[in-house]
Amino acid sequence: MSGDPMEVDEQEIDENLYSRQLYVIDHASMKRVMGSNVLLLGLGGLGVEIAKNVILTGVKSLTLWDPQPASMLDLSSQFYLTEQDVQAGTGRAAASRSKLEELNPYVEVVHYDGKLTDEFLARFQVVVATDTPLEEQLRINSVCRSNGAKFISADVRGVFSSLFCDFGDEFVVVDKNGEALKSYMVSAITQENPGAVTLIEDVRCDLESGDYVTFKDVEGMTELNNCPPMKVNVKGPFALEIVDTTGFSTYRKGGAMQEVKMPVTMSFSSLERSIAEPEFFMTDFAKMDSPGHLHVGFMALQEFQKRNGRLPGSHNAEDASQLLALAKEFNAKQKTVEEIDEDLLTALSHTALAVVSPMASFLGGVVGQEVLKACTGKFTPIKQFMYFDAIEMLPEGDRDAAEFQPSNSRYDSQVVVFGKDVQQQVLDLNYFLVGSGAIGCELLKTWAAMGVGAGEKGLIHVTDMDTIEKSNLNRQFLFRPRDVSRLKSESAADAVKVMNPSMHIKPYSLRVGQETESIFNDAFYRSLSGVCNALDNVEARMYMDSQCINYRLSLLESGTLGTKGNTQVIVPDLTESYASSRDPPEKTIPMCTLHHFPNRIEHTIQWARDSFEGLFTGAAENVNAYLSQKSFLDTLAKQSLVARLEVVKTIYSCLVTDKPLTFEECIAWARQKFEDFFNNGIQQLLFNFPKDLITSSGAPFWSGPKKAPNPLQFDMENPDHLEFIVAAANLRAANYGLNGSRDLSLYRKVLPTIKVPDFTPSAKVAIPASDEEAEASKRKGGPPADVDQDELERLTKLLPDPDSLVGYRMEPAEFEKDVDENFHIDFITACSNLRAHNYAIAPADKHKTKGIAGKIIPAMVTTTAMVAGLVCIEMMKLVQKKKLEQYKNGFANLAIPFIAFSEPQQPETAEVRKGWKWSLWDRFDIKGPTTLQELLDYFQEKHQLEVTMASAGMTLIYAFFHKPSQTGPRLNVELMDLVEQITNKPCDRSASLQLTVCCSRVEDGEDVDVPWVNYHLV
């Protein structure tokens, strides 16, 4: 079984289950994963995290080996063990196997309790060792190297962790970063040594010197077309150098440069050699010296265990002294560091007995990704030792060692690390988790082990309005096939209650936003210790950020994208908020590029997606609106003439000229759409802009990013053409409630009988050559030449009376990317690829099309687990109210690999006057009842500020420019009463009223920005 996992039999991939993962590791890599047999030693807190991640990624088999019985110390991180397992003395692997097996029906999970002989080890492509003595690690590593297997060892000790990877002398990385292949349009290539390539300045070149490329569609210098991969030297964002081109033909125009990923061979040292000559992978550049010290410390821990048969005791001074002596002894021989860090290694000794869930989640995610790399050659492995610590989590100050002693509790490991007082605070936390998808599941699992909300005063609120789909099961590990269609929040709450029956958790199925503020109200937010986001959209993140600012609550923010992850901790008064620094908005495709001048497959996919919406969603919705809303035409009259004509034409077509009564008529309609989209429309474009057109500047019109298209002639024998007809006809039939068909013989019978009208391009049709020209035409006013007011009026009169179609409705297609049988992705794929053929763009398969059209976010359980661990590390700091410099925002890309941290930014401040600065966390807190006059006096007398304007939301309650007759009656009215009088709407007296005030300084009349006013009666 050892063999090469990259050479496996063809297997069917369950694309519904592995959907999001396939956008990270591709189909070929997934096949290699599915052919891999993995052995995992040790099923403690770290081991079970690794097992969960490896099973969910879909290996062929995972064999578990761990003779150690479950203990109370395990329960703070081993989420599949119970107190009953501890009482029964059940082995950790045996107790976990059945629960792990439920995670993925395609993975064989085996519990093995025999000897780890050389013959047994030879069965596996990857061996992962946790909680394993060093001598045994050395032996197993040697066997793995002999068999060509990959070896990984990892451990968590308190707030410290270690990882080692040995993938052999010659490990081939087939894709070092997993990024999509980059493609660029060429504008010029010189004949020199080296040849200079200039790119069209529509997309910056993200290649690096040393990357490889090839070319296609180059006119003139045809020697480059489909050339073997050549190395580039990047000179700028749009310039690079290639090989000697002096002997090549003269470049004329056009061409695309395509990145080529070349295999990279990496060489790893054995564990024995690496211990003496360690190569470190950095995780925190603020701790450059830590890896060396922790290397010494972990080696000393191994020696301590060997001599004592146990780990150092919790905060045991004698054991810590012995560990320091062993560390000095090791360092004297190896000279790893100049002088050991005694404080660091003392902390290691004090907490080594424990495995806490945040650390296990973090390292389990990283190790899971390394197993995936070992199975596939996809992404760059960690080379070779990685040491990570979260020492900032530890309690500060001198504390009695008794505070940290285990007491036969399920939270003993938490107590060993944080102490009993801090653990009680964890138990009594009241947290709001927004989202229970992938990150939410990992967080809840970690919280169950930590005991968050499990005390008498504790409570977790979790909300998620989504229901569970099959594609969720690959990374949202709390859910099982039996949970499909259930609410995520309820299923997640049920699952973690099994893990820790003491947890108090309340699920909701509500969206967070203004519409649910009667549920998530002032009282709700005031009851919270903090908020944790596990969201996948910016709008909800921004809303929760604003709520946390309003109620002065901490916020834990995180996100993932494939192998990339980030975390942000937001602390009242100390840090900026989520909204303070945001990613730039996503780039949109220019409209003219989309409609007339595509040059990338992304352009044709978006065009096809828009066509789907227009044909099968928007058209049906407009028809239904016309039939059901008496004022529909009056409302439509407010739109532009172009928009009105388009809508009326569509309704007339759907209800009169093209309304099908049979499926055969749907086929005929689809055939005409083929002609309109891929022949007639292209003929019209070439009529307006002939292929030999020269611009006013003397340059060819069809050059640079503009690719001249060619019309397509329908060919029933062409699979792409037929797929379009099948998908379009079935979607059309579904709109009208007709039965569709996949029977190709029916299409072959009907299609030859369809007469397609001849098409002649029209000189009346105006097509803008650029977005700028389109915008200029729009500003000029008036409808385009081909828009006829008389035609609009004629068609409107011909529309059938809605009263004659009472009860009739079309069925709009609601886009759903994850249902293979609904023809949605089939249509978009066929439509996009046919347009790509028009423009000589390389087509995309259904999988790629689905990802782009459905805006699917690539996801891996490994990244999610890592991110959740980092979030919970910051949570433990929040519990202890740490200083700013002890918090960390995290950034990671496990593919490269890269892990780094930064100190959160402090909030920006504004100055009212010298000595008075304020930030987004400040506000004037005023408890009423207070009248408007009292509010003005408050600012005047207490802050020497004159209020010039005051408003509640969009309601202006006071302004310096108001007439006395308007201001006078308001001055002695209580503020909530005043808002009610002005708006004629009741105010919630139990909630706060937020007032925005504009002020000027009394001393000089200068306008100044001031915080908002939080006015409340309770």
Question: Which pLDDT value is given to residue 270?
Answer: 98
- pLDDT score for 2: 41
pLDDT tens, residue by residue, 253-291: 999 999 999 999 999 999 999 999 999 999 999 999 999
The tokens for 749 are 């019978």
pLDDT band at 149 (very low <50, low <70, confident <90, very high): very high
Rounded distance, CA 958 to CA 967, Å?
7
Q: How far apart are CA 220 and CA 510, in angstroms?
A: 61
Please say whether the dihedral angle defined by the alpha carbons of residues 410, 415, 421 and 422, taken in this order, is positive or negative.
Answer: negative
Q: What is the 3-state secondary structure of 478-535?
A: CCCHHHCCCEHHHHHHHHHHHHCCCCCEEEECCCCCHHHCCCCCHHHHHCCCEEEECC
pLDDT at 57: 97
Mean pLDDT, rounded, for 572-588: 87
Q: Label the pairing between strands 898-902 and 280-281.
A: unpaired
Alpha carbon distance 637, 69 (integer Å): 76
152-190 pLDDT, tens digit per residue, is 999 999 999 999 999 999 999 999 999 999 999 999 999
Query: How confident is residue 782, by pLDDT bands cut at 50, 70 and 90?
Result: low
Count Cβ atoms within 10 A of the Cβ of residue 542 and give its class: 0-12 exposed, 13-18 middle, 19 or more buried: middle
CA separation (Å) from 310 to 65, 300, 302, 538? 20, 13, 10, 49
Q: What is the pLDDT of residue 164?
A: 98
Q: Would the pLDDT of 8 be above 60?
A: no
Residues 6+ positions from 150 with CB-CB distance below 8 Å: 125, 126, 127, 144, 165, 166, 167, 168, 171, 374
Structure tokens at 182: 């980059």
pLDDT, tens digit (0-9, with 9 covering 90-100), for 76-117: 999 999 999 999 999 999 999 999 999 999 999 999 999 999
pLDDT at residue 1, rounded to an integer: 37
What average pLDDT does this structure show over 37-56? 98
Strand arrangement, sheet containing 183-189: 230-231, 212-216, 256-260, 183-189, 196-199, 239-241, 233-236
Amino acid 784: pLDDT = 54
CA distances from 706 to 202, 593, 885 (A): 12, 8, 52
Give the pLDDT confidence of 838-888 residue by residue, as tens digits: 999 999 999 999 999 999 999 999 999 999 999 999 999 999 999 999 999
Residues annotated as catalytic (active site), given as ranges: 592
- Residue 116 CA from chain centroid, whole number: 40
pLDDT above 90: percentage of residues in the chain = 92
Tell me, what's the pLDDT at 786? 52
- How far is it, in rounded angstroms, from Cα 873 to Cα 890? 11
Mean pLDDT of 896-925: 97
Mean pLDDT of the chain: 95
Lowest-confidence segment of 2-16, 266-280, 735-749, 893-907 by average pLDDT: 2-16
Q: What is the pLDDT, as a whole number, of residue 10? A: 53
Rg (CA), the chain: 33
Q: Is the pLDDT of residue 781 over 70?
A: no
The secondary element (H helix, E strand) that includes residue 137 is helix 134-147
Residues whose CB falls within 8 Å of the CB of residue 623, separated by 6 or more in sequence, listed in order: 650, 651, 654, 655, 809, 810
Amino acid at residue number 119: E
Rounded Cα distance between 89 and 93, Å, is 12
- Flag the least confident range among 261-270, 505-514, 901-910, 988-997: 988-997
Per residue in 314-368, pLDDT tens? Answer: 999 999 999 999 999 999 999 999 999 999 999 999 999 999 999 999 999 999 9
pLDDT band of residue 1018 (cuts 50, 70, 90) is confident
Q: Which of these, 384, 389, 525, 374, lies nearest to 461 by C-alpha position?
A: 525
DSSP H or E segment with residue 900: strand 898-902
According to the model, what pLDDT value does residue 642 have?
85
Considering Cα of 782, then 786, then 790, then 791, what sign does the dihedral take?
negative
